[in-house]
Amino acid sequence: MAGRDSKFVSDQIKMFVSGLTIDPFTNMPIVIMKDESGRVALPIWIGLIEASSIATEIEKIELSRPMTHDLIKKIFEELNAVVKRVEINDLKDNTFFATIYVVGQNKEFSIDCRPSDGIAVALRTKSDIFVSQKVIDKSRKLENVHQSEDQMKEQKWTEILESLEPEDFGKYKM
């Protein structure tokens, strides 16, 4: 495990949940992750149920019945297993990937998960969340591509509108 920890420290950035917001275009929740300095931010689009679970834990809302992520925490506790960390470790085709690292019975287990589930579990177990530098880099490239596409669309519309003559609009009866 020592070898793993040295690699783990070098290419991972410790982050925390800065907040939740809603994408105004898709109405999908976004969890905003930030590094400890607040200079690096990573938006991750998530599902409504996971957003509800994350919000419930952030706000310390007590429910009469456990949610799925509460159940997962309870299972780990009953098995005397400890969540060591959650890593958001890849971004492919606009999909984030994560792993929950658990230690139990003197062995470390890694469990593949969606980042939203990993974040919800990490919040409940007070575990650290790390994001791979490559995920941050890929996310920035993706943002730049979307910005470039938006700029190209805006530029194309500007060119079209600027080239129109008054007679191009035709005559409409009101």
DSSP, residue by residue, 86-107: EEEEEEETTEEEEEEEEEETTE
Spelled out in words, what is the top-level CATH class assigned to the domain 2-161?
A: alpha beta
Q: How confident is the model at residue 91 (pLDDT cuts 50, 70, 90)?
A: very high
First to last CA, the chain: 76
For every residue of 34-87, DSSP letters joined together read EETTS--EEEEE--HHHHHHHHHHHTT---SS--HHHHHHHHHHHTT-EEEEEE
Domain boundaries, the chain: 2-161
Tokens of 151: 């700029």
**pLDDT of 171 over the 70 cut:** no
Mean pLDDT of 9-28: 88
pTM value? 0.76
Mean pLDDT of 3-13: 58
Predicted pLDDT at 48: 94
| Residue 65: how many other CB atoms lie within 10 Å | 6
Report the distance separating Cα 129 and Cα 120, nearest Å. Answer: 10
